[in-house]
Amino acid sequence: MNTPRAIIRFTVNGERMIVQAQPMKRLLDVLREDLRLTGTKEGCGEGECGSCSVRMDGELVNSCLVPVLQAEGAVIQTVEGLARNDELHPLQQAFLDHGGAQCGVCTPGMLMAAAQLIERNPNPSIAEIREALAGNLCRCTGFTRIFEAVAVAAEKARLEKVHDAW
């Protein structure tokens, strides 16, 4: 059986996109294969590790668990959508500065989960950071440097907001 392809329209990193895909194709695979956005990684493929985390309509999702038909009309942000032109997102810079990334497989998912957190909660405690990233597994860093990086980035983002307000 060959399921007919569906036409899916959505917005990815601010750009309107149209793809043709089987409705059950995972959003993860559409991002990586059809749109060549390979920043999003596949880890476990069962929603346990968070490597494939992206933001969809303002919430964090595991893109391996989203059939692309359910992304019809959605606004999606992937790790490629964090930096503005040549300027890294404060989270990306903090991960670099504080050793929050080593092998890099978990990093895009960590960044998206952290971005989701600090947008909703600009002043997270370490406990809140740990909870927000509890669905993202890292086998290199031991997590501590990641939590530090998120705390630093949140503080920097707050300062920039104050600066902008002036």
Partner 1 sequence: MRGNADVHELIAPGSLAAVLELMAREPGKWTPIAGGTELMVAFSAGRLTASRLVSLWGIADLRFIETTADAVAIGAGATFLDLRRSATIQADLPLIARASSWIGSIANQGRATLGGNLVNGSPAADSSPALLVYDAEVELISVRGRRRIPYCEFHTSYKSNAMAPDELLYAVHLPRRWAHHRQYLRKVGTRRAMAISKVALAATALMNDGVIGEIRLGAASLGPFPMRLVKTEAALAGQPLTRETAQAARQALLTEAKPIDDIRSNAEYRRTVAANLLGEFLLELRQEGGRA
**C-beta of 64 vs 146, nearer to partner 1:** 64
Task: Give the span between the Cα atoms of 108 and 120, in whole angstroms.
Answer: 19
Q: Where does this chain touch partner 1 (CB under 8 A) — which range of 78-86, 91-99, 134-142, 143-151?
A: 134-142
Beta carbon of residue 161, minimum distance to partner 1 (angstroms, whole number): 23
60 vs 146 by CB, closer to partner 1: 60
Q: Helix, strand or coil for residue 91? A: helix
Whole-angstrom CA distances from 150 to 33, 70, 111, 112, 129 are 30, 30, 9, 11, 7
Question: Is the Cβ of residue 2 or residue 85 nearer to partner 1 in the bound state?
Answer: 2
- Bridge-based pairing state of the strands 75-77 and 6-12: parallel
Cα separation values, 128 from 2, 13, 47, 124, 131, Å: 45, 26, 21, 6, 5
Q: Provide the mask over 25-64, with x wherever binding to partner 1 is found by CB under 8 A and - wherever it is not.
A: xx--x------------x--xxxx-x--x-----xxxx-x
> Going residue by residue from 71 to 110, which x/- string records binding to partner 1, judged by CB under 8 A?
-x--------------------------------------
Instruction: Indicate if the alpha-carbon torsion angle 37, 63, 29, 16 is positive or negative.
Output: negative
Q: What is the dihedral of CA 146, 154, 92, 96, to 10 degrees?
A: -50
Question: Which of 131, 142, 144, 159 touches partner 1 (CB under 8 A)?
Answer: 131
Residues binding partner 1 (CB under 8 A): 1-3, 21-26, 29, 42, 45-48, 50, 53, 59-62, 64-67, 69-70, 72, 113, 116, 131-132, 134-136
